[in-house]
A and B are shown apart, each in its own frame.
Chain A
Amino acid sequence: MVAARTFQAVDWYITEMSDNGSAAPVCLQIDQVWKIFGNRPERALTMAESGSTRADILKATGCTVGVRDVSFDVMRGETFVVMGLSGSGKSTLIRCASRLNEVTKGRVLLDGDDLTAMSEDELREVRRHKMSMVFQHFGLFPHRRVIDNAAYGLEVRGVDKGERIERAMEVLEVVGLKGWENHYPQQLSGGMQQRVGLARALTVDPEILFFDEPFSALDPLIRRDMQDELIRLQETLQRTIVFITHDFAEAIKLGDRIAIMKDGAFDQVGTAAEMITNPQTDYVREFTKDIPKTKVLTAASVLMDGDSTAATHRVHLEDTIESVLPHLLSDLSPVGVDDVEGTAVGIVDRQAVAHVLEAEE
């Protein structure tokens, strides 16, 4: 059921993208992945496939179901966010995707190559050239200077010293650490340490970046800085990103699409707006409850057919309701909506906005 829903979402996304004319091939494909921790995964797997709950399986077999039949695709250049409560299996999922954990069942395809079937050597090659990761507790090397931390990926790849230092310096400058390259990580603040983690991941110029709650250990102000920084970087770099968080606000801010995870499985996959206007489970509703909808929903989500030529105010499809509201309040008439090219596509009126805002109260 969940899988089917996921594919719908993917289909929608592909259509959406191709409509815009920029075909985005799939970068990472997670195909019915299971991860079971413990000594008797086979039994646990049989039980789980016949529908037993996580708790029952734990009691009967002593095995923990970390990831339960999860499937999704991430397009090239997309930021895919996985969120869920502590223990829901987010880390396990991302670790399966990078094969830090072996999957119990299922496949992980990167550029169409099956990571789970690779030998150690093949896997190492892929890791050296295609992926990198940023960790929640940074995972920096305290015995190496910032510059040597950043250059690590190139170093293990065998790039010679001058070249890797040069490249690492460039990246350190991009993440705002110029001048700190000869310090040791302990001499830096938490936010700066995570910038080092980010630099280390970017230096190898990976196709895909895995982020496991990279900003959770930072305090709120620095966290916001880092989020903005990542958005800024992503605008120019256009990498494929899988990002884990337990903070829905962060998910909305960074994610093109969001998956909500519970007990090892996906509850719902979609855009932030979809989650808010149409939560498919109570768990999802719980997450989205405290999010100010006016900040997330856009004119597109309340768009109605209608003639907008008479409207005094005009907004774009992508504008948030928050920015549309003043126009609606200042004037009784509907607001006209244009798309990116400036063509009029419809209207938004008071009633429609009031309707979505009250929908699930």
Chain B
Amino acid sequence: MTEALEAPVGVGARRLDRAAVSWLILGAGVIGLQLLFAGRTFPAIWDTLISGPIDQFEAWGRSNRLTHPLFTGFFQPVTDVINWGLTAIEESLLWLPWFVLPVAVFAIIARNGNWRSGVVAGLAMVYPGLVGLWEPTIETLALMGVSVLITVAIGVPLGVLAAFRFRFEQGMRPLLDAMQTIPAPVYFIPMLLFFGIGKVPAAVATVIYALPPVVRLTALGINKVPVAAVEASRVFGSTNRQTLVKVQAPMALPTIMTGVNQTIMMALGIVVLATLLAAGGLGQEVMDTLRLRRPGRGVAAGLAIVAVAMVLDRVSRSLAERDRSKQIDKRWVLGGLAVLGGLVVFGRATGAVAFPTVWGVRILDPLDAIVVWARDNLSFITRPLNDFVVADVLLPVRDFLLLSVAWPVLIFVTAWLAWKWKGMGLAIFSAVSLLVVGFIGMWELSIITLVQVIAAVLVSVAIAVPIGVWAGRRPKVEKALGPILDGLQTIPSFVYIIPVVMLFTIGQVPGLIASVLYAIVPGIRITALGIRQVPNESIEASQTFGATPRQTMLGVRIPLAAPTIMLGINQVIMMVLAMVIIAGLVGGGGLGFETVNAVVRNETGLGFEVGLAIVVMAMILDRITQSWAERLQPPATP
């Protein structure tokens, strides 16, 4: 009896010692490194380690593009095929009379009886035409179409393979994880090397970026098929192929379609950013209007992106819907196709093919004026806010981290956190990769970006967590917020920048505000989920002891929801980082701005270095916050 009682005490004491020692290590390390390195900047000793060879390779590529088999035998054919697909889709969409597309969107969605949703999506499909953006919209849709087709053609077989080959899945997983943490613009950089700029590199970047969900969800869908169904199929003597084609694939289809939906939304997100690669389309339209100081047109173009996002989301969801009881008669399908065919014939015959100019300049000029007016009249708030954030927050913090704190201290603290929350492996990885980032000369840019991320994350968390807690406790609030959050989540990240740029012009602050707006959505969602998932019994147990609502909240609800909330914060951080990088497009500074510079000025070597720094930052932030969330998990009951 006594033995049993003593043992845990002993363990506890040892644990206490370990905690004390680890804090001692931290203190000693910080003070020692600070004393040793104070005032020294990070020596960029490997300045050309990466950029040198890359630039050389690019120069070599440029002069051998027409002759070397690497280009003539691989990249050129790939380019040709993609180009052919792009042109084919774009031309056939433009060949169709314009009204066929909205009617088709309506018909697809309404076929399951979702009339209202069908009407809304059909009208949304008309909107871009109304503001004179029909052709860029078709351009964007064609780029999306090709990219998504290729992504699905690659992703589904990979997913199937992952479902059947455990080893392969094991190998893929870290790669897919990493891919999902890397901000979109980073994918453009290697494209420069092999494809230059234009639509084809945009499509390839999109394929790579949008691949993970379709692979993941295909594998998940197939693994989720009940064992009994698979065994039933085997017992009747099916070959593996028959089982896959007749049982596993059809049963996994809804999940695969969810993956395709996610892939489509991700593809749209990056396709509009591909304005960086001069890929044209709606993104280009937005950037041009911003540059031409016609903010009203920018808003109109941004809304066109939102409309396209909504249409794509609804259509792909509707196609994914597999409610057997709602299935419609073949005759209706044929009838619908006949009507569409009739519309095509009618349109081509009467020559009503191109979208008619409806409002044209008449509405766009006043729109510009309204936005400019709003900007000027709000500047009494926006200007001081901007100045305050830059001069009193971002700059001082940046200087503190860059000048006052010696750089080894930051690396040491990061490694210590990684060690404490996860283990030696992550600590070594963090330290080494940060050292590399510094040695290749990316330290200062990384710190600038880090400061932006920290500021935006703090604000986002301060907004998202309270709202999430509130929504989690009040089902009504959550229900009311649901559709708004759904809608916000389908909007491509790039669009968030538009309204803030309108009001603040360019600089760091619009990027930060956009980051906050973009990141609070998942923050609220996941926090609410965490709060809602707290078991009712725990709450009632607390109440029967006479706890006040406040005590129950702080003592039971929040601690039990903490791991989930922490995962939400992890999401917030990753989304903020993605947006801070994208904000480079509007002069956000730091790594993002440098990415844009590298792509626009065709400095591919520099691009790779910046990209590496971004990837390192993304992975470290992700791993450390995730391990923190894991540590908050109460120990599993044996």
Contacts and interface: CB of A to CB of B under 8 A. Distances in A.
A125 interface: yes
Contact of A127 (B236, B246, B322): B236
A143 B235 contact: no
B325 interface: yes
A109 to B, nearest CB: 18
Classify chain B's interface size: 20 to 34
Contacts of A126: 237
A204 B232 CA distance: 13
A243 interface: no
B9 interface: no
Given A184-B324, A186-B324, A187-B325, A132 B250 contact: no
A359 interface: no
Contact of B232 (A124, A125, A139): A139
Given A141-B251, A156-B242, A187-B325, A204 B236 contact: yes
Contacts of A139: 226, 228-229, 231-232
A200 B237 CA distance: 13
Q: Helix, strand, loop or mixed for chain B's interface?
A: helix
A129 B250 CA distance: 25
A100 B247 contact: no
A310 B251 CA distance: 70
B237 A127 contact: yes
Interface string B500-526: 000000000000000000000000000
A147 interface: no
Contacts of A129: 237
B236 A132 contact: yes
A98 to B, nearest CB: 6
B542 interface: no
Contacts of B234: 100, 127
A137 B228 contact: yes
Contacts, number: 74
Contact of A152 (B226, B228, B233): B233
Interface string B229-255: 101111111110010001100110100
A157 interface: yes
Nearest to A136: B228
Given A139-B229, A141-B251, A184-B324, A157 B237 contact: yes
Given A156-B246, A187-B324, A100 B231 contact: yes
Given A135-B228, A137-B228, A124 B237 contact: yes
Nearest to B239: A124
B394 to A, nearest CB: 55
B327 to A, nearest CB: 9
A293 interface: no
Given A138-B228, A187-B325, A131 B235 contact: yes
A140 interface: yes
B235 to A, nearest CB: 5
Interface string B214-234: 000000000000101101111
Interface string B307-341: 00000000000000010110000000000000000
Interface of A: 98, 100, 124-129, 131-133, 135-144, 152-153, 155-157, 184, 186-187, 200, 204, 210
Given A132-B236, A143-B251, 19 more contacts: A98-B235, A100-B231, A100-B234, A124-B237, A124-B238, A127-B237, A133-B235, A135-B231, A137-B226, A139-B226, A139-B228, A140-B229, A141-B233, A141-B251, A142-B229, A142-B251, A156-B237, A156-B242, A186-B324
